[in-house]
Amino acid sequence: CHPCVAMRVPVGPLSLLLALSLLSPRGSAGGSCPPRCVCASNLLSCSQANLSAVPAPLPRFTAVLDLSHNNVTRLRADWAPARLPHLHALLLSHNGLAFVSTEAFTHVPRLRHLDLSSNRLRTLDENLFSDLGELEVLLLYNNEITTVDRTAFENLGRLRKLYLGQNRIARFPLELLREGTRLPQLALLDLSANRLRAVPAGELQALPAWLRDRLYLHNNPLACDCLLFQLLDRGHRRHLSAVVDFQDELRCILPGAPASIKILALADQQPLNCSKAREAVLEAHLGDSVTLGCDSRWQGVRSRHWVTPGGERVLGDGGNGSVVLLANGSLQLRALRPEDAGTYACWVAGPLLNETLYVELLVHNFTLHGPHDTLNTAYTTLVGCILSVVLVLIYLYLTPCRCCCCRGTEKPPAPRDDSINSSVLSTTPNHAGGTGEPCGSHIASSAGTGQNGRFKGGGTPPLPTRQGPKAQRKVSDPDSVSSVFSDTPIVV
């Protein structure tokens, strides 16, 4: 018999119901495909269906919902009245969308990809996307956005890519990048074709290279600035894609210039005359501790190691603890020595390609440095000069007189029978008798000092006391005749 006859089975109502359930995705329990939409497994495509609202009800099994190229101008909180636990991609581009409720994403907490590009959004309100804790990609380019609230991207701890290009943003949203706390995993930020006139180049330079590699700033009316030039020049030398791929579109405006010029062409050009900054040059002093950063442009680094100027490979602690490889890949040098100067190389094994970074370390051969030490040195020098001047003034004007106690004592006239050999210019009187006695200090110093207060090593000893009328005479000082600068008047 024919084989088909043996396999022929009568078709009943139960068999027909089973066949229809197999053709419908997830069966009737998951919901039917909305009109004017195409359902394929868990994909729901309603693109170019001339819809003015989101179709309802939506199947619970929907994982990807495409509503692009329609007329959905307002996205209210009730567009998804029931929870859609499997929805991870929502496409709403090219809808003329002008309003999005802050509660619009309450029932889609598993959303990872949200496309709101090419619409008419003007502001990003407070906590607009705060319910999307698992969002990874957010497309907002080609809108009319002028204001970005500081809390619009709160709780987006997993966001990796944020596209804000082709809008009307005039202020750089630095809070999206600062400290990496608000968007800790952000790896791409597109701000191209906006109305930015200035960017914080100094703070952007401090960002890791893997983030600067995906920071797009081209086609903005930026004002020419040397810090901006150095930021982009470093990126060009590091082959960062955001600079290399759009170097012709990275332009700026000089004051009074009729047209914009390339930012990378500002080197040695008037009136700014910007100079190229040296890449990764670190200066330190003897005894300091420094940390050399390995600023790779790869985010998922598998391994890295350093090579010292002497060719030594550093994988961990080395040099009795003076060279330490930190957990973040940086190299720490402690108690710098002159031989630590040179060029260090950091070898990085990235997820796609390897990269080698070079850091030049300059060690100055002195320890006193910095503004604080300079101030101390200048202060010490000034105090020393003032003290020197004070001491000179004291010496010139306040030196006490050697005979201050004798100034009031009147000297008696010398006897006429003094020896002719007595000194007429002596600093001390030749007679010890008479009515006036010399002061005690003078007598004490006369035994060991000579003219002008100088010490006499070998003076003439006094003769024994003689009896007679001339017993009061003393031996005259033979050296006193030569003293012509005595403080006493000449005796006639």
417-459 pLDDT, tens digit each: 444 444 434 444 444 444 444 444 444 344 444 444 444 444 4
Report the top-level CATH class of 282-364: mainly beta
Distance, CA of 117 to CA of 138 (rounded, Å): 9
Element (H, E) at 41: none
pLDDT at 260 exceeding the cut of 70? yes
Distance, CA of 146 to CA of 143 (rounded, Å): 9
* Paired tokens of 431: 């007679």
By CB atoms closer than 10 A (0-12, 13-18, 19+), residue 368 is: exposed
pLDDT at residue 412, rounded to an integer: 52
Distance, CA of 217 to CA of 246 (rounded, Å): 9
The number of CA neighbours under 13 Å toward the Cβ of 100 is 26
State which amino acid sits at residue 284: A
Q: What is the mean pLDDT of residues 306-333?
A: 76
pLDDT at residue 354, rounded to an integer: 74
pLDDT at 336 exceeding the cut of 90? no
Give me the residues paired with residue 360 across strands: 281, 343
pLDDT at 252 exceeding the cut of 90? yes
Judge if pTM exceeds 0.75: no
Higher-scoring residue by pLDDT: 267, 97: 97
Distance, CA of 283 to CA of 359 (rounded, Å): 11
pLDDT at residue 114, rounded to an integer: 97
Distance, CA of 176 to CA of 200 (rounded, Å): 13
pLDDT at 467 exceeding the cut of 70? no
Higher-scoring residue by pLDDT: 166, 178: 166
pLDDT at residue 27, rounded to an integer: 37
Contact 398, 378 (CB under 8 A): no
Q: What is the mean pLDDT of residues 17-37?
A: 53
pLDDT at 69 exceeding the cut of 90? yes
**Radius of gyration (C-alpha) of the chain in whole angstroms:** 49
pLDDT at 389 exceeding the cut of 60? yes
pLDDT at 142 exceeding the cut of 90? yes
| Neighbouring C-beta atoms of residue 346, cutoff 10 Å | 23
State which amino acid sits at residue 223: A
Higher-scoring residue by pLDDT: 408, 97: 97
Contact 402, 386 (CB under 8 A): no
Distance, CA of 447 to CA of 465 (rounded, Å): 17
pLDDT at residue 100, rounded to an integer: 94
pLDDT at residue 64, rounded to an integer: 96
Distance, CA of 235 to CA of 345 (rounded, Å): 19
